Structures are given as structure tokens and as C-alpha cells.
Amino acid sequence: MERRKIVLDVNDDIYEVEVYPNETLLEVLRDKIGFTGPKCGCDDGTCGACTVLIDGVAVKSCLTLAVEVEHKKITTIEGMAKDGKLHPLQESFIKNHAIQCGYCTPGMILSSLAAINEKKRPLTKEEAREAISGNLCRCTGYVKIVEAIVEASEKIGNKG
Ligand code: FES
Ligand code: FES
């Protein structure tokens, strides 16, 4: 199998990488570019720990080939803090004690962000649960996570 040079736009920076056609976005982000925020929990689309945004939509990067997303806008958890300030969702997860081991947290936050940006208004608890329905947490039991998402969405939801 031949490697191909592709251009990826990750967190507003451009990366030229050589990839095999069957390499996943998760592998390329972590092993070739160095963004280790997206985690590998299952590698088969079950856990959501690898979730990133592609053009604003939450996508499981273990099920996405890197060659499919050339020139699309990719956002990982590393791209959320701006000017040294955490994103309101990140702050809310900390404030609400919605993190234990943290393995699921990047995926939880990016799935939530996609839902908040889509609705352009605060989320209900039900909508927050729906937003993270593809993300598994083995530690927290989800209650604090849902509270953190709803609270953050009240701050940022109406700004889109
Ligand atoms: S590692 Fe992608 S869904 Fe679990
Ligand atoms: S905080 Fe440990 S898996 Fe969610």
C-alpha cells in the first residue's frame, strides 16, 4: 500500500502528513501530529472517546479515514482554549466535578459543543443526554456531566 501526502487543518493550523489510505484520523492525530486529546477507548465506534469535530459536526475519529477529511476543519480538545482561557464547557466540567479519570472528557465536551452550536440556545437535560448518547463514561455516572453541559450551554448557547 502506498503512502500519500495530505493536508489536514487541525485547530486552525495546517499539517502536511504522509498517510496510508487505511489510516484513521485518530491514528494520524495522535501518532503523526501529536494531538493526544482524542483517546482510543474501543477503536470500533462504541465509546466516543475519540470524538472530534469535522466542520463543526461531532465525528468518531476511529471510524474516519484521514484521507477523507483533507482540507476540512478539524477541531480537537486542544483547540478549544483560546488565549490561555479555557472554553466555558471545559470550565463547567471542572466546576461541576464532571471529570474523574478524564478519559472520556474530550469526547464528551466535543459532542456537547456540536449540539450547543447546532441548537444555538441552551440545552435541556434531555438534549444534553442526547448529545452525549454516543459517549461512554465508566467513572462519573453521567449526572455531573449532564449538569456541566446544561450550565455551560446556558452561558454560550444563545451565542451559537
Ligand atoms: S475509540 Fe472511537 S468510538 Fe471508541
Ligand atoms: S471520567 Fe473516567 S471514563 Fe469518564
Ligand 1 atom closest to residue 63's alpha carbon, by position in its atom list: 2
Question: Cell numbers at residue 18, please?
Answer: 504522509
Residue 87 corresponds to which amino acid? H
Paired residues of 17 in beta bridges: 6
Confidence (pLDDT) at 157 = 67
Rounded to the nearest angstrom, the distance between the alpha carbon of 158 and the centre of ligand 1 is 30
Same domain, 57 and 101: no
Confidence (pLDDT) at 158 = 62
Question: Cell numbers at residue 83, please?
Answer: 488565549
Boundary of a domain, candidates 44, 79, 114: 79
Cα end-to-end distance, the chain, whole Å: 43
Domain enclosing residue 125, as ranges: 88-159
If we measure between CA atoms, which residue out of 65, 78, 69 comes closest to residue 35?
78
Confidence (pLDDT) at 114 = 98
Rounded to the nearest angstrom, the distance between the alpha carbon of 138 and the centre of ligand 2 is 5
At 118-152, the pLDDT tens digits run 999 999 999 999 999 999 999 988 999 999 999 99
Confidence (pLDDT) at 69 = 98
Same domain, 60 and 94: no
CATH number at residue 117: 1.10.150.120
Question: Is the distance from the beta carbon of residue 62 to the nearest atom of ligand 1 less than 6 Å?
Answer: yes
Successive 10-residue mean pLDDT values, the chain, 160 residues: 96 98 98 98 98 98 98 97 96 97 98 96 97 96 97 80
Confidence (pLDDT) at 140 = 83
Atom 2 of ligand 2, nearest CA residue: 101
Same domain, 67 and 121: no
Confidence (pLDDT) at 160 = 47
Element (H, E) at 125: helix 125-131
Same domain, 53 and 96: no
Boundary of a domain, candidates 32, 56, 79: 79
The number of folded domains in the chain is 2
